[in-house]
Structure 1
Amino acid sequence: MTVSAPPIIFLPGSGGGTPDFSVFRAGPNDMTSFEPIAYPDWRRSAAEGFSAEALIVELVAEILTRVPRGPIHIVGLSIGGHFGYAAALRLQAMGREIAGLCAIDSFMIISAEPSAGWQGRALAEGLELLRGGRLSDFTRFVRSKFWRALLRLAGDHLPRLFQAFSSSGKLPSVSGLDPILEKELTMRLLVRETAPWIASLDREPVVLKAPTVLLRTGVTAGDDDAWRRRCPNIEIFEIRGQHHTLFEAENIGSLREAFLTATRDWRR
């Protein structure tokens, strides 16, 4: 992709973080630019009237601002792959060209509840950090899981709880308490609102007529057919690692190779 080419839109996972985009470039002379788009914070997600459909409208408006003309390329990580699919459908309906959609380990989401076996996966992830001597990462991991467990206990009352705080003018200073709590709260509210809607996309999937690729770990191979119903001509590439280790040093090479191969036509 040349310097004058439109940027590639990047939609992050529910945590909102963005990776080092050099992972997606062929080398130092690759001038491909990426435009990450942030999701609303927890205050917006907790507000009355927020919905998954409203989120897609906002994302599409932001994409049009970043790429006002020409073909549009979208990369979506995890939940961002589903948002990218929905945004691409809306953009196509508006007459814009979707030149490529790349979903990265975007497994199918049935509900906002934790998937089966989550305790075992969390334990394995924590032990992996300890074995690697990554004590600071382990501490952040434990804090993250602690806050996530507390927020899950609130269930469907979570948005209403913070709406009540907002209407009373006593909105708590979450970031002052713990920045990790703010991140978990933002993620939890986003997932709770959008998960049922994402599941509904596959009841009667609308076909996206655009070049689409899925880079996914072996663990999520069972979702290939669902993606094929959305995008019949999709190309699927298996990458090393697990969902939470895609950008670890031992898996970066696999991800980069798959991305560059899968998006080879984006650079012409």
Structure 2
Amino acid sequence: MTQAPSPADAMLDVLRGCWQATFRDLPFEPDLPWAGSGADSLRSLHFMLRLEEALARPLALDLLEQDMTARQLAERLVREEAQATDDDTPLVFLLPGSLGDQPQLAAFRQHLAGTIRFETMRFPDVGDDMSVIGDIPATARLLVPVVQRRQPDGPVHLAGYSFGGIVAVELAHQLVVAGRRIGSLTLLDPFLRHRAFRAIEAAQDGETVPRLVGGNPFATADGGRLALLVDKAAFGIPLTLGALGLARRALLRGAGRLSPETLFWRRQRLIQRLRGRALRRWRRRTIDAPALLVLSDEAHRHFDAGEWDPLVPRRQRLDVGGKHVTLFRAEALARIAPAMTAMVTGREPA
């Protein structure tokens, strides 16, 4: 009689399939640390996206560590699934910034580990329907069934950082329309103004996102001056003129011959433009739910924080100072964590 595989072995088989689909030129070695496997950062991201699809649930950026083996990753995924079933720690659906999950959000989640569980949501990417990427209500509609499946009943707790704060408000509205109750809404330095958002996202990109690009951000994998100029024009000119559909087609058409660094850089620029367009077109919503509005000094410089008053009338405002990109440093987290814990659990901090 054949013995059924253990949950960890079954999960390892899922990882093997995702690996072979992503890293066709690399052997799958379950006990080799990720850093020594030859997997580059861009394809590792693609691997994680495939794994999300295979498991039908979002995965956090900080799940995969450089010294972790595939076997350890499988064991961790099985352990998290078991904890999610048994754990009565409050669950919060976290909406990241415009570029998706980032290291500063990993630090935020780790700081609150043991107090709050996070499900980090994934936004549509450049390979998805562009009309959805550039539309906040359409993006939220994709996330509603994820929330409903992950938490079929009870009050829903949402949190959103930067652009994700706006999506969190829209998602809260759509969940209320669907008959759900919003237990809490935590807005982490959200930006209501399109121009302010563009300025902040540009600064965030320069300060916190790894610069994978060398001296020329339009460099191609195979080089060649003429090819470089043609490639630069095909993507850069439509992007500059706001013809984002043409820029997207150029990006996808050239993805196979672009270096990972250039592909990463172009994805950032295009995603920022699409999210900015979405924010400009968004129709503001009012959410009657307990809300925590966390603001940096930078937010106060770009717009009047009182603009949030009619949108989240049951808000508590927390001014933590600093810049948008330093919102999750230790001194700010020391103030955010107890306030958010009290908001989510309904208990005053000790």
Output the TM-score relative to the length of structure 2: 0.58
In structure 1, the gaps of 5 or more residues are 130-136
Select 1:172's aligned residue among 255, 266, 275: 255
Q: Which amino acid aligns with 1:34?
A: F
| CA–CA distance in structure 2, aligned partners of residues 164 and 48 of structure 1 | 19
1:228 and 2:309 equivalent?
yes
Alpha-carbon distance, 1:66 to partner: 2.0
State the distance in 1 between where 2:321 and 2:196 align.
Answer: 26
Give the corresponding residue for 2:290: 211
Larger Rg: 2
Alpha-carbon distance in 1 for matches of 2:124, 2:274: 8
How far apart, CA to CA, are the structure 2 residues paired with 1:183 and 1:114? 16
CA contact under 8 A between 2:160 and 2:167: conserved in structure 1? yes
Q: CA RMSD in A?
A: 3.7
Which residue of structure 1 aligns with residue 79 of structure 2?
none
Contact 1:165/1:171, CA 8 A, preserved across alignment: yes
Count the aligned residue pairs. Answer: 238
Aligned residue in 2 for 1:190: 274
Indicate conservation of the 8 Å contact 1:207/1:231, yes or no: yes
CA contact (8 A) 2:238 2:247 kept: no
Instruction: Report whether the alignment pairs 1:254 with 2:338.
Output: no
Q: Secondary structure at the match of 2:158?
A: strand
Aligned to 1:160: 246
* Residue 35 of structure 1, aligned match among 101, 119, 126: 119
Deviates more, 1:170-179 or 1:13-22: 170-179
In structure 2, relative to structure 1, the CA distance for the partners of 1:226 and 1:94 (3 Å cut) is same
1:115/1:69 Cα in 2 relative to 1: closer, same or farther (>3 Å)? same
Determine if contact 1:112/1:195 at 8 Å carries over to the other structure.
no
Q: Does 1:73 align with 2:157?
A: yes
2:332 partner letter: S
Query: TM (normalized to structure 1)?
Result: 0.73
Instruction: State whether residues 41 and 186 of structure 1, in contact with CA within 8 Å, keep that contact through their aligned partners in structure 2.
Output: no
Q: Distance in 2 between matches of 1:138 and 1:91?
A: 32
Answer 1 or 2: higher relative contact order, Cα 8 Å, separation at least 6.
1
Q: Aligned-pair distance for 1:185? A: 4.0
Contact 1:175 1:182 in 2 (8 A): no
Instruction: Write the deviation string for residues 52-90 of structure 1: whole angstroms up to 9, x where unpaired.
Output: 332121122222222221111011000100000011011
